[in-house]
Amino acid sequence: MSRLQAAFDNLRRAGRKALLPYITGGYPDAGTTVAILRALDPQRCACAEIGIPFSDPIADGPVILTSFSRALARGFKLDALLDALRRRRAAIGVPLLAMVSYSIVYRRGPQAFVQAARDAGFDGLIVPDLALEEAGELAALGRTLECPLVMMVAPTTDDGRRRRLAALSEPFIYYQSLAGVTGERSSLPPDLAGHVADLRSATGKPICVGFGIATPDHVRAVCAVADGAIVGSAIVRRMNAAVERGESSAAIAQQVSDLVGELSGPLA
- Among the listed residues 259, 258, 170, the one whose alpha carbon sits nearest the alpha carbon of residue 213: 259
Is 262 assigned a catalytic role?
no
CA separation, residue 144 to residues 85, 108, 114, 137 (Å): 21, 18, 10, 11
Is 60 assigned a catalytic role?
yes
Residue of 49, 123, 170, 184 marked active site = 49
Residue of 29, 60, 244, 247 marked active site = 60
CB atoms within 10 A of CB 179: 11
Q: How many residues does the chain have?
A: 268
Task: Evaluate whether 168 touches 141 at the Cβ level (below 8 Å).
Answer: no
Work out whether the CA dihedral 81, 84, 90, 93 comes out positive or negative: negative
Work out whether the CA dihedral 201, 204, 205, 210 comes out positive or negative: positive
Between CA 175 and CA 152 the distance in angstroms is 6
| C-alpha R_g of the chain | 17
Backbone angles phi, psi at 57, to 5 degrees: -70, 160
In sequence order, the 6+-apart residues with CB closer than 8 A to the CB of 112 are none
CB atoms within 10 A of CB 82: 21
Catalytic residues: 49, 60
